[in-house]
Amino acid sequence: MNQDLSDPSEIIPPCQEECVIELTDPGLRLLIHGGAWDITPSLHQAHALGVKAAFNEAVSCFRSGGSGMDVVLEALRVLEEDPTFDAGRGSFLNEHGDVELDAGIMEGASLRAGAVGGLRNFLHPSRIAREVMEKTNHAFLVGEGAEEFAKKCGYLPLLPEQLVDPREREVFARWVAAGKPDAKRFFSSSAANSVRSGAHPDKRGTVGVVAAVRDHNSRAGWTLFAGTSTGGTPGKMKGRVGDVPVIGAGVYADDEGAAVSCTGWGEGLLRISAGQRISAAVRAGVPIQKAVEETLSDLYRRLDGHAGIIAIDAFGNLAASYSTPFMAFAGPRGVLSHLRLPDGCATVRGQDL
């Protein structure tokens, strides 16, 4: 299914046909997601247009000579600047009304990785994660240490009003006025009165990218890259970090296995080590689509959790699946936003739970 989004008034319908990801670029394989959750209908179009824009910018970066990591960072930049998504400018507020951002990136050939957690008031945590990978002997910086490092690298924090979407500030004020009741229940109720608060705000997605770049020196022919970025969950405890920046959970890349980016229930994805699990399965010979689907099934079976996952292996095979009602993402054929169907779909097979 190749959807033309040139008409901004077009309503993106659920997929009712088999969809096959066509591998058309000789040098690049790329998948980008904008979160897997119960995306409210009023935001279907914004999600589709957002991931399409990120995909196009990433491809343009590659055609201009960008590396695989450049491609990943360019896609994340677009998504972090779009208030539609729970990352960067569209992030939720924590229990104190602050934005705390997490991001992680990884290269599959060298297994180099960089991550930041609990980063306040910086628009592009994914770029700071790259600084960690390239300029330090560490892989993960958090909180004030990450902020001090970002400033040393020339990144300036934004004022809260420059970063926080006004809708989130309004919803946060209503939560405070109500006495800060259980965040999950409040932000999914009509009391929140926010178009961004669906039935499962704690399972709302983040944004992520997986890429494979042709490399004739690689055993399988491709080198892998992955990146994930998030603003967390609404009303989260100060200091809460989910799967996103944790190497092997929400982000992972290994040329001997797979590049993976996860979205959904962060605590569950963290507890099953979703990214590394998929890569290890692929390394052991499991087809990548099957590895992704089995991981989502295990997440539900063991923890009653739901999520979405995109992945690429070192042979350039693409996979994507989700167990939430929706996942918006962009791939080689364009933008796909699917409803979960009982019979599944070759491109995005929702788990029939």
Tell me which residues are annotated as active site. 206
Beta partners for residue 210, in sequence order: 31, 226
Cβ contact 106:123 at 8 Å: no
Q: Pick from 27, 50, 25: which is nearest to 39 by CA?
A: 50
Buried b (16+ CB within 10 A) or exposed e, 250-270: bbbbbbbbbbbbbbbbbbbbb
- The secondary structure of residue 188, as a DSSP letter, is T
CA 77 to chain centre: 12
Measured in degrees and rounded to the nearest 5, phi and psi for residue 230 equal -155, 160
H helix or E strand, kind and range, residue 162: helix 160-163
- Residue for token digits 């507890």? 271
Distance CA 188, CA 132 (A): 36
Distance CA 241, CA 100 (A): 9
Cβ contact 134:105 at 8 Å: no
